[in-house]
Amino acid sequence: MKVLVTGGTGFIGSRLVGALVEAGHAVRVLRRANSSLIGLEGKRVEHCIGDILDAGAVAQAVEGVDLVFHVAALSSYWRARRAEVYRVNVDGTRTVMEACLRLRVPRVVHTSSVAAIGLAPDGRWANEETPFDRLSATFAYADSKHRAELEVQRAVARGLQAVIVNPAVVMGAGDHNLVSGSMVIQFARRPILAVPPGGICVADVDAVVQGHLAAAERGRVGERYILGGENLSYWQVGHIIAEVVGRPAPRWIIPRWVLGPAAAAVDLFNRLSRRPPVVNGEQLRLSAHNFFFDSSKAIRELGYSPLPFRLAVEKAYRWYREHGYLA
């Protein structure tokens, strides 16, 4: 089978490319000319140079394929301007879906995020039916991924055979862009003594890749599937990472009342600074909440098998050591 992967040089995308090549598929990658090729080292793939915002390049990449995995997105949102996040995640998704419709691609898997689902009320775990909440709508990345899903659903209504997957915070080997993996590097380089009061759903990248493949094979058209793992507090996350990298565990939980003023100060600094942000106010505000998710639908319908968070951290730490990130 001939498969296109947009975002195939990124973390999830490159791991997905590896799995597809290993399974014997002919893989084409749509990437920008300046994309890092670290994740594709040793993999025989066809390279199509272009941007998901370029309709011509997208059409050329989509031509003749049997399956499209649309993984490309601006995930490191704190390093980009708000308008760029929407442009890449929403407009780019619309461009890809239009090309898939026009060229009659038999099957599409769109990589969304649990951020597009948002917070469940009353502290419950969110699932695929959870209404998108007001707080998440203020978060540019979450709102952009939610709007991107609407573009996919519009294409489905016009006949596109598309399925949506919603990975949680993904950890594991190969995150060379330092999105979620930056937590491992931060803990490895110096003790982190305090963590936020909230929590997150964390998933192993290898489980997420298998979830993508299962969605392509068995996912129901128009449905979304959460690809999560363990729901952990930042306190638990910090203690697991610290133990793996051999650093002291966090000692304190940051009080919730501190996060608002700290977020405002960070936002002001980022507006005045000419350097790309290391963190933004949205991250700090949201870290007070528990973003917990239920993967039971993917487990039931796709045969999705979550993996332990500790295993993902161990694989990430080993990969960063082997590739000189901790020198």
The residues annotated as belonging to the active site are 141
The answer to whether 293 and 114 are in contact (CB under 8 A) is yes
SS3 72: coil
CA angle, 106 as apex, 104 and 110 as ends, to 5°? 100
Question: What single-letter DSSP state applies at residue 293?
Answer: B
Alpha-carbon distances, residue 179 vs 169, 174, 220, 250, 283 (angstroms): 9, 11, 30, 21, 13
Question: What single-letter DSSP state applies at residue 115?
Answer: G
- Give the orientation angle of helix 140-157 with respect to helix 92-102, to 10 degrees: 20
Distance CA 92, CA 73 (A): 8
The answer to whether 204 and 311 are in contact (CB under 8 A) is yes
